[in-house]
Amino acid sequence: MTAKSSERKLHFEEITPRYANGMAVLIINILLMLASVAGFIYGITRVAQADGGTDNVSMYIALLVVSAIYFLLIGPMLFAGLKILKPNEALVLTLFGKYYGTLKGEGFFFVNPFAVAFHPAPEPVPVAATGSEQASATAKTTMQSMKKPSKIISLKTMTLNNEKQKINDELGNPIIIGIVVIWKVVNTAKAAFNVDNYKEFLSIQCDSALRNIVRLYPYDSTNEDQEKSLRGSSQEIADRLKAEIQKAVDIAGLEILEARITHLAYAPEIAAAMLQRQQASAIIAARQMIVEGAVGMVEMALDKLSQREIVDLDEERKAAMVSNLLVVLCGNKDAQPIVNSGSIY
């Protein structure tokens, strides 16, 4: 029973509270407060002019009390129920500690005056600083303390760009990687009550998911089988990263729209060695292509000479011709021609 009840508490669903037109309530309340002022003045005047009629005096005193109660208590209390929302904003309301509902959409609303707006994200806590940074930190703290924390939850599409992380890939090579995550709040009740601070929760889950994904892939593929890698399979890595983060933040009522790798590089301590390795691999691949092409051209030349019967070469001369052609085609420098004026035999 306890497990089921705790499971239900972690899955709040949004509900829409009862509300009225805020402008109409505002106008009516102002008119009633003006009427209460007029009634209070009228009651005082009539009590002062009363000549001993007990019933009339009691009626005027009751008018005074009602007017004073409405002007000093009920009227201001009704003003507390007025809420203004801009486009793509939401207001999570609690009533005596229980979830009351979520106001969404632009407009001027009136809700239960006892319903209190709730926002899970606290104001940022300043980090202790020393030396010259302490004065600026103190100034920022003072400015933050003067700001009134907003109770409104934004429904806009937002971007999270955490700091770059140093993580070891599948081969154990340290790399520096950074991601950007585009997200928005889709369930304000879960965002408000299931986690302490949904923005910090998202940031931590992004870092955790990034570490889990990076450890499964090498930085770059090292064979011809085109093994999946962080550099060569960026789209697949991004899709898997998005799914991993979405699974983790479902409990907070967030939707991940996109996750992309924005920075990918080897760590400075191995960057030079890895650059030499990449250059060597590129040179070897280029040489391999040159040799394969040269062998094909030599084979084609021998076949053409044999088919057209231009010259009859024995095996020794064929070997010499192949050697010369390979030197010419595979050499780094231009070949220097030598004219043989005598017989080749």
Say which range, 113-117, 144-148, 203-207, 218-222, has the weakest mean pLDDT: 144-148
Q: What is the pLDDT of residues 279-291, one digit of tens each?
A: 666 677 777 777 7
Rg for the chain, CA atoms, rounded: 40
Query: Could you tell me which of 210, 203, 205 has the C-alpha nearest to residue 165?
Result: 210
Taking residues 289-308, what's their average pLDDT? Answer: 75
In this structure, are residues 162 and 206 in contact, taking their beta carbons and an 8 Å threshold?
yes
Q: Is 168 exposed, middle or buried (0-12, 13-18, 19+ CB in 10 A)?
A: middle
Surface-to-core class of residue 165, CB atoms within 10 Å of its CB (0-12 exposed, 13-18 middle, 19+ buried): middle
- Window from 4-8, 17-21, 79-83, 339-343 with minimum mean pLDDT: 4-8
DSSP-derived 3-state class of residue 96: coil
CATH class of 153-266: alpha beta
Please answer whether residues 318 and 286 qualify as being in contact, where contact means their C-beta atoms are separated by less than 8 angstroms.
no
Neighbours of 290 (CB within 10 A): 14
Domain ranges of the chain: 12-118, 153-266, 280-330
**In this structure, are residues 55 and 16 in contact, taking their beta carbons and an 8 Å threshold?**
no
256-278 average pLDDT score: 78
Reported residue count of the chain is 345
User: Taking 60 as the threshold, does the pLDDT of residue 345 lie above it?
Assistant: no
Confidence (pTM): 0.67
Angle at 92 between CA 4 and CA 79, to 5 degrees: 140
Q: Burial letters for 59-94: b for 16+ Cβ neighbours within 10 Å, e otherwise?
A: ebeebbeebeebbeeebeebeebbbebeeebbbbbb
Asked if 276 and 249 touch (Cβ cutoff 8 Å), the reply is: no
